[in-house]
Structure 1
Amino acid sequence: MAAIHFIDGEKGGVGKSLFARVMVQYCIDNKVLYELVEADRSNPDVGAFYPDNHKTAVFSESERKAYEADEIFDLALENSVIVNLPAQVYPAVTDWIERNQILEISGKNKVKIHKWFVCSGGYDSLQLFMQSLERFEKKIKHIFVRNFGLCDDWKHIDENQELQELIKTYKVPVIDFPKFSYRERNILDAKRINFSEAKNYKDLGILGRQRLHRFLKQAFEEIEKAKIWNPPAASITPPSDKVDTANSNGKVATKK
């Protein structure tokens, strides 16, 4: 069954784009058919990393632009669709869902809708998640993504009784998105290198590529914990950094 995967978080700076990039790479590495829709017009950075493999859409409460997101549902009839949402788009997305009766027709067309809500651990981020969860109840499957790159202490979340009751009531999977080291991320962002290209990017160095592999491995394992995707076969492979025998100068050469 195909699905629409909204990468949400509502607030800016909570890590939506990085998580969306990882989700795309998860599909690539696991040979899962997908469509990427870049819905962030102001900062289309996910589409920039996969320039030949994405479409664009916009969510708007304006009547003139109200139909520009319709292609997302059409695409979902064939494949799973990953939608990178911009910040502060909750009213427009909700309007699109309710005005078009998306929840009703998705059931008839066997299209599931998931919302991967990336949270920074901040009060506003948490309130927005609970707002979305209560608004759509069990009609949209929410996945709570705790971004450890922005917050490494989630005790206040674990002790939030209101949140924990909602998670229990709506059976929300909770996953931990690992921190991606600043050095490797800065290099990839500056060069607009996606994760597939980065696996063999010499400037990262052997240890940098190893840290990248470890990050992806941990992130993929967390995504699988949500039990939303059903990849046919995992194909995650570590960087290939082998050491040759001594060369003609008597030195050990390293393949990169």
Structure 2
Amino acid sequence: MTDSIELMNNGSEDKAKEGSIEQITKKRLVIVTGDKGGVGKSTFARGLVQTYLDKGQRFIGFDADSSNSQLLRFYGRHCHIEPLDIFKTGNIDQFFDEMKTKANPKVGGDGEIIQPESLFLLELPPQSRRILRKFVEEMTFLETAEKHYNIRVTMVVVISRVIDSINQLIDLHSFCGNQVDYIVVKNLFFGEPDEFTRYKNSPEVEKIKEQLKAQKGPFFDIKMPELIERSYDYLDENSMTFRQGMEQTDLPSVKGRVTSWLRTFKEEIEQVKESLGLNNVELS
């Protein structure tokens, strides 16, 4: 009984606690990478954006793949996607500053309270790992983001079956360590899950997994389903979102394939949804 009275009398304290909880809630930056072109990172990023939209999850996207701006082309009219040229000196610094401003906005001049953003998505272009490494090391980006601005980074690494994909993951870990969540995505366009033997049998990857496990660092591997060429090309030719592909009625085969693909995609990311900023969302 005493506990109930104390809770009722401390309503203002409860509100203060709620405010504190809101302030310390982790914000999330999801970086989709895969330094080798054509590995499927844009397809994964598009699937993730569609999931955010379907679940009403607020986010801001940044498309840094200026040579193949699929996020902007497919989703720029449907949600907040900004272009980002990370190869231009200073732009990635500005991106960090802008993200901080959006995550921790100041009260407007008229007293208007601006809603803070808590989820950001960045799709990197091919051949950008050197710039990312320089940014992480010179600015202590990962430590600064989490320690001072409460932004945790997730690295989504989309891989094919070739050894280059494995080497890129190993190199990424060499400068990110346990400061990020890792999600390795096997793109099944390149083969069945058991055919990713170079990844499965890599002693370096196994060592990374063991190190992160000892450090309690999140490391997951999931699969991205294959979308057959006919359906993929139809979406591409018409710059359709996955949702539009499901809703169009011209080609029932495309409608069925895209519906199945997106359902399977969401089932796969269910196990890593917290690392993708979907903490309290039911996907399946």
TM-score bracket, shorter-length normalisation? 0.7 to 0.9
Using the size of structure 2 for normalisation, the TM-score is 0.76
Match of 2:131 in 1: 92
**CA distance, structure 2, for counterparts of residue 235 and residue 125 of structure 1:** 28
Q: Deviations over 1:138-197 (max 9, x none)?
A: 012111111111232123322222212212322410101111111111000000000121
- The 1:7/1:76 distance shift into structure 2, 3 A limit, reads farther
Letter of the aligned partner of 2:189 in structure 1? G
Greater percentage in helix: 2
**CA distance, structure 2, for counterparts of residue 37 and residue 3 of structure 1:** 14
Letter of the aligned partner of 1:137 in structure 2? G
Match of 1:163 in 2: 205
CA shift at 1:65, angstroms?
4.3
Written as runs of structure 1 = structure 2, the 5 A alignment for 1:25-64 is 25-52=50-77, 53=79, 54-60=81-87, 63=89
**CA distance, structure 2, for counterparts of residue 90 and residue 147 of structure 1:** 20
CA shift at 1:41, angstroms?
1.3
Match of 1:81 in 2: 120
1:148 to 172, 175, 188: 188
CA shift at 1:15, angstroms?
0.4
2:271 to 225, 235, 243: 225
**CA distance, structure 1, for counterparts of residue 136 and residue 54 of structure 2:** 31
**CA distance, structure 2, for counterparts of residue 175 and residue 131 of structure 1:** 20
CA shift at 1:99, angstroms?
3.0
1:16 to 31, 37, 41: 41
User: Which moves more between the two structures, 225-234 or 161-170?
Assistant: 225-234
Match of 2:233 in 1: 186
Match of 1:203 in 2: 250
**CA distance, structure 2, for counterparts of residue 210 and residue 109 of structure 1:** 43
Match of 1:253 in 2: none
Q: Which runs of 5+ in 1 are unaligned?
A: 237-256
RMSD, matched Cα:
2.0
* Equivalences, count: 234
Q: Which runs of 5+ in 2 are unaligned?
A: 1-25, 105-116, 214-218
Letter of the aligned partner of 1:69 in structure 2? F
Using the size of structure 1 for normalisation, the TM-score is 0.84
**CA distance, structure 1, for counterparts of residue 231 and residue 166 of structure 2:** 28
CA shift at 1:58, angstroms?
2.1
**CA distance, structure 1, for counterparts of residue 254 and residue 164 of structure 2:** 34
CA shift at 1:91, angstroms?
1.3
Q: Is the 8 A contact 2:162 2:198 kept in 1?
A: no
2:160 to 120, 133, 145: 120
**CA distance, structure 2, for counterparts of residue 64 and residue 7 of structure 1:** 21
**CA distance, structure 2, for counterparts of residue 125 and residue 225 of structure 1:** 22
**CA distance, structure 1, for counterparts of residue 230 and residue 103 of structure 2:** 36
Letter of the aligned partner of 1:40 in structure 2? D
Q: Deviations over 1:60-118 (max 9, x none)?
A: 3x545453433244445522111111000011122223333322222221111011000
